[in-house]
Chains A and B, each alone.
Chain A
Amino acid sequence: MKVVVGVKRVVDAYVKIRVRSDGQGVETANTKMSMNPFDEIATEAAVRLLESGIVDEVLAVSVGPDSVQEQLRTCLAMGANRALQISAEPDLEPLVIARALQAVCQRESPDLVLLGKQAIDDDCNQTGQMLAALQGWAQATSVSGLEVSQDHVRATREIDTGLEQLRLTLPAVISVDLRLNDPRYPRLPDIMKAKRATLETLTLESLGVDSTPRLETLEVTEPPRRKPGVRVATVAELVDRLRNEAGVIP
């Protein structure tokens, strides 16, 4: 069984982002970049399937400029067998990424595609569902439990009211949530080996994917700031203020 994992390079989750003064985006120069945390969980899930013997090949894919090779090498260090860069400009929209992954699926015929449920930069939460639609495959999003068999997958989804259980026919697309696993830290020898590994490269153009953006970002602004609050000294004062000043409790 073959698994494709899609990963995105994003501003690190612990960086406090700054809106650029020209209002055209957020500051990414000299900013720590990392693999999207959800994609790390997807990679970990794929590598565990490889280790359990159900899966015999894990191909990590990222779409973007050469800087994404850093994240692909992290995937290799974690245990992916192969890594493919689809060379393209940065900040492409989810529909473009889904079409690029569709082209990869047509070349590679994976049984399963694992992705993070959303990227922590644009917070779109779309790529997995779009890929499933384009391929006409089953999907499970926000997955926190996964059992893979030869011809189907049992997935537990996190939904607004609790958990939902699905059985998907393979091939399928799974987008993963935080509680699926704790990604490993790659070992130093594996990191060194991944540094020397050969990455495969294709261009978005050669896959016939149109990357023209459909959305134009007119302006990026900081959200309005809240007015400064006060410290209260006691529970009694807190209750009094909430009741008589803010009027939010009976």
Chain B
Amino acid sequence: MTVLIFGIHDGDQLTPASRSAITCGLQLADRVDVLLMGAECQSVANEAASLDGVARVLVAQAEHLSEPLAENMAPVIQGLASEYIWVLAAADSAGKNVMPRVAAALGVQQISDIVAVIDGETFVRPIYAGNALARVRTRDAQRVITVRSTAFAPVAPGDQVASIEFVEAAGDSGLVEHHGYRLSGGDGPDLGSADIVVSGGRGVGSAENFALINRLAERLNAAVGASRAAVDAGYVPNDHQVGQTGRVVAPALYLAVGISGAIQHLAGMKESRVIAAINSDPEAPIFDLADYGLVQDLMSALEELEHTLAETPSPLGKSA
């Protein structure tokens, strides 16, 4: 095999972003190996082994790999890397944390957040918050790459089952202790892979008003997004932030409510298939990007939306 994917998982399943990284890997080779690390990986290994194009699932199991600590995970990847030309991971918070540590240990210049594979050494990646695209060619014989998941569809199960092999876990670095999470949770779909994202900005005005965004998202089975301003103002936790430094999303519908459209925010959502924007300011830059723009007071628009969506769609509705 020539491609190794660092598979990021929740204990049960690979993340959709990691399945996108496999899709990217399959543009470099016919089959890929997937490395899983954790305290207990059996069920995720079974799932990964069923995915299309996966040749081998490599499992490093150890108590000190139960949390994605870069100090403990990077050496495991590094130890396997010599067998591979390409080492890939999703550009999610775990991939961004771990992979540069691998690249530096191998002495190669990582290629971050690629959105296209031109050939085995040439890739496209966004720079300047996505306001430009750079086509870059690496001179490194080994290539450490993170993959922007919105640019590659998650791989589906295939008709063969890969072998599962256990590999050695490097020892505990002893440099860092994990002291737990504060997860905002919620029952809605994952922001990174939802079909619809309803996103609120500073214009929403308060945490109480933001409940209307949450309710609308629930009705549409959508994930809740937010601009940096809404997170900074405390309307919504940090993990909802969409943008250059938050999550990058590309749903079928991105509904931006009270978001003016700073370039840092647009960087995280402009690849969405359809963008709709509601804003009371007719000059808001978000309207330059929106397929559908509505200038209206947000509170009245959110209430009307709720009523309108509650009505059954008319069977005589116009078709496209």
Inter-subunit contact B71/A139 (CB<8 Å): yes
Inter-subunit contact B104/A98 (CB<8 Å): yes
Cα-based distance from A60 to B252 in the complex (angstroms): 45
CB distance from A176 to the nearest CB of B (A): 11
Chain A: interface secondary structure?
mixed
Inter-subunit contact A94/B132 (CB<8 Å): no
Cα-based distance from A126 to B127 in the complex (angstroms): 14
A144 adjacent to chain B (CB < 8 Å): yes
Inter-subunit contact B274/A248 (CB<8 Å): yes
Report if A232-B294 is in contact (Cβ < 8 Å); known contacts: A142-B93, A218-B122, A226-B270. Answer: yes
B309 adjacent to chain A (CB < 8 Å): yes
B133 adjacent to chain A (CB < 8 Å): yes
Inter-subunit contact B294/A160 (CB<8 Å): no
Cα-based distance from A227 to B270 in the complex (angstroms): 12
Cα-based distance from A175 to B253 in the complex (angstroms): 33
Checking B69, B137, B292 against A238 with a beta-carbon cut-off of 8 angstroms, the contacting residue is B292
Looking at A12-20, A62-70, A82-90, A183-191, the stretch in contact with chain B turns out to be A12-20
Checking B132, B133, B182 against A17 with a beta-carbon cut-off of 8 angstroms, the contacting residue is B132
Q: Which residue of B lies closest to A212 (CB)?
A: B139
A222 adjacent to chain B (CB < 8 Å): yes
Question: When each residue 219-246 of chain A gets 1 if its CB lies under 8 Å from chain B and 0 otherwise, what string results?
Answer: 1111100110111111110111111111
CB distance from B126 to the nearest CB of A (A): 7
Report if A178-B132 is in contact (Cβ < 8 Å); known contacts: A168-B175, A214-B108. Answer: no
Question: Inside 8 A of A133's CB, which chain B residues have their CB?
Answer: 74, 100-102, 104-105
Inter-subunit contact B139/A231 (CB<8 Å): no
- Tell me the chain A residues, 123-160 only, with Cβ under 8 Å from chain B: 123-134, 137-142, 144, 154, 157-160
Interface size class of B (residues with CB under 8 A): 35 or more
A208 adjacent to chain B (CB < 8 Å): no
Looking at A1-9, A71-79, A104-112, A113-121, the stretch in contact with chain B turns out to be A113-121
Inter-subunit contact B71/A125 (CB<8 Å): no
CB distance from A117 to the nearest CB of B (A): 7
Cα-based distance from A16 to B128 in the complex (angstroms): 10
Inter-subunit contact A125/B111 (CB<8 Å): no
CB distance from B180 to the nearest CB of A (A): 5
Q: Which residue of A lies closest to B70 (CB)?
A: A139
CB distance from A77 to the nearest CB of B (A): 25
Interface centre among A169, A247, A249 (most CB of B within 10 A): A249
Checking A120, A124, A245, A247 against B112 with a beta-carbon cut-off of 8 angstroms, the contacting residue is A124
Inter-subunit contact B100/A166 (CB<8 Å): no
Report if A123-B128 is in contact (Cβ < 8 Å); known contacts: A95-B104, A166-B179. Answer: yes
A93 adjacent to chain B (CB < 8 Å): yes
A165 adjacent to chain B (CB < 8 Å): yes
Cα-based distance from A233 to B282 in the complex (angstroms): 12
Report if A179-B239 is in contact (Cβ < 8 Å); known contacts: A139-B70, A214-B108, A214-B140. Answer: no
21 contacts between A and B (CB under 8 A): A16-B131, A93-B109, A95-B103, A95-B109, A120-B244, A123-B129, A140-B176, A141-B70, A142-B96, A158-B239, A160-B191, A162-B238, A162-B239, A166-B178, A213-B139, A214-B140, A219-B135, A220-B127, A234-B304, A236-B308, A238-B278
